[in-house]
Amino acid sequence: MTEEPKEPKAAGDQPASDVQGEPLKGEVSRADAPGAGASAAPATPPAAKPAGPAAARPAASGAEAPAAKPAPAAAKPAPAAAKPAAPAAKPAAAAAHDTKPAPPGGPTDPPPPAGTEIPSFITALQAAVPGGVEQISFYVGDWTVIVPVAKLLEVARFLRDAPEAAFDFCSDVTASDWPPRPQRFDVIYCLFSIRHRRRVRMKVRAGDGEPVPSVSGIWPAANWLEREVYDLFGVNFTGHPNRKRILMPDDWQGHPQRKDYPLEGPGELLMENPLDWLKLKQAREEAEIE
């Protein structure tokens, strides 16, 4: 005959000797009693028990242990939630970085401030050469007269010969390039009057290939200066006695000071060592002779 499985007894049905009850308030437990036997006394000092694995088991079965374990699990999703914020910020920064301002269309050429007296030689120029002054500018203490190309030589002669002007020395001729503008070049003549000890700038605007008459016949010092502007910017000076390159080789491609000039050079002539370029040029000349 098989024995029927016995149902486990509840803690209340077990004898009092088998159930270890909690001591009441003010009652000393059996293990802590002074008259406890040797079996109830711990084998090792109580201070060493927490270091053993057996000491950790009661803490795990306590009421506060399960509540402490889910805390790390709840804290883990926080970094995951913060990660999507970084990729979202990258497109905004990249879009701001890719936004390029529009290229400037030219200098502002600010007019004279209100109440500033225009020099007498400029008013005399406006009266002597009608339409010879398109605009008057005053910047950092210097006067600039913007002149149409068709009136350049007439205005230049007046500024040199008129007693109230007497600009007998052309100290510099330079240019600036503004590709977005139809008249992309500003050709600037810096003039100085030895008699009156004052300066003025004369500026003309010209398009790519538009003829600009040479002033080397009025100021001989402008001869080499115009050659430099022609060499580096490609301004089409007409009437020049010897218009050819002055800095770059005669067969150089393009004009290096233009804004649209390639940063790495004209292409096939791009070489780091100038001697290599000279060898290539010599090889071409020898091939032409043969």
Model pLDDT, residue 146: 98
pLDDT bucket at 14, cuts 50 / 70 / 90: low
pLDDT bucket at 85, cuts 50 / 70 / 90: low
pLDDT bucket at 36, cuts 50 / 70 / 90: very low
Distance CA 242, CA 226 (A): 10
The answer to whether residue 234 is domain-embedded is yes
With a pLDDT cut of 70, the percent of the chain lying above it is 60
Query: Domain range for residue 242?
Result: 120-247
Model pLDDT, residue 112: 94
CATH of the domain at 163: 3.30.460.80
| CB-based contact 247:228 (threshold 8 Å) | yes
The answer to whether residue 213 is domain-embedded is yes
Return the closest-CA partner of residue 128 out of 163, 92, 167, 86: 163
As a whole number, mean pLDDT of residues 212-231 equals 98
Distance CA 37, CA 214 (A): 125
pLDDT in tens, 110-120: 999 999 999 99
Number of domains in the chain: 1
The answer to whether residue 237 is domain-embedded is yes
The answer to whether residue 11 is domain-embedded is no
* Poorest-pLDDT segment among 114-123, 241-250, 251-260: 251-260
pTM tops 0.85, yes or no:
no
